[in-house]
Amino acid sequence: MEQISDNQKMSLWHLSLRNCVVWEPVTLSMICKTLCLGLFLSLATHPSLAQEDAETAHIAVKNPADLSHQEANKIYDALKATLDERYSVSNMELIAGYQDWKRYNSAPYLSATHGQRFVNNYANDLGHDYGKLKNGQVYPPGTVFAKDTITVTSEGKTFPGAMFVMKKLAPGTNPDTADWRYVMVIPDGTVFGDTTGDEPELVDYCHACHISRANRDYVFYIPKDYRLAQ
């Protein structure tokens, strides 16, 4: 990716995707992607649902709703088809048909590390040990975890959020991320960042967060109140 000249370069880039702030030098492409992310998160909505202001749509939700399991599932069910349709625009075989995989949470739950949005945890067949891995064990190559998200505010505004993906790679493929591939897809189907593809620096924060779970192969588990009986 071509860098813009020093006298054109902005000195700081503000991106809040997981309720934290990241500051770093940017390229023109990165600036455009950041602006587009805010726009897409506000416009890529179900026609009958409300929208956020484009200027702040990619910032952590300040007033998320307090939902029961039943309420969260009802809203998610209304958005599932829209989520699948929009993510499919990415043409990523990696997440094709992800809603046919097992969902490991009983209802969408609020995640501070995903911008105060409600999230779901899906895993393909190779991820069948999700939530049961013992310290020191690892997932087999090809394991994929897909986390789709929705925003629900206390005012009742609801709309699709981004998709976050982890794929376990063959040993030695990418030591910097402990052989995990991280991908983020925004609701219009644009791949925002991919640690093994375009704009890897835009999703570097993913592994920086998951390092805290290195003892169980860098994977977070679902909150206890939302775990399915296994």
What lies within 8 Å, CB to CB, of 100 at 6+ separation is none
pLDDT along the chain (230 residues), means of 10: 36 33 40 46 35 42 93 98 96 97 98 93 97 92 98 94 97 97 96 95 94 95 90
pTM: 0.76
Query: What is the domain partition of the chain in residue ranges?
Result: 64-226
Contact 168, 175 (CB under 8 A): no
Residue 51 pLDDT: 32
DSSP 22: B
* φ and ψ at residue 122, rounded to 5 degrees: -110, 150
DSSP 178: T
Q: How far is CA 134 from the centre of its chain?
A: 25
Residue 62 pLDDT: 85
CA–CA gap between residue 164 and residue 13 (Å, rounded):
21
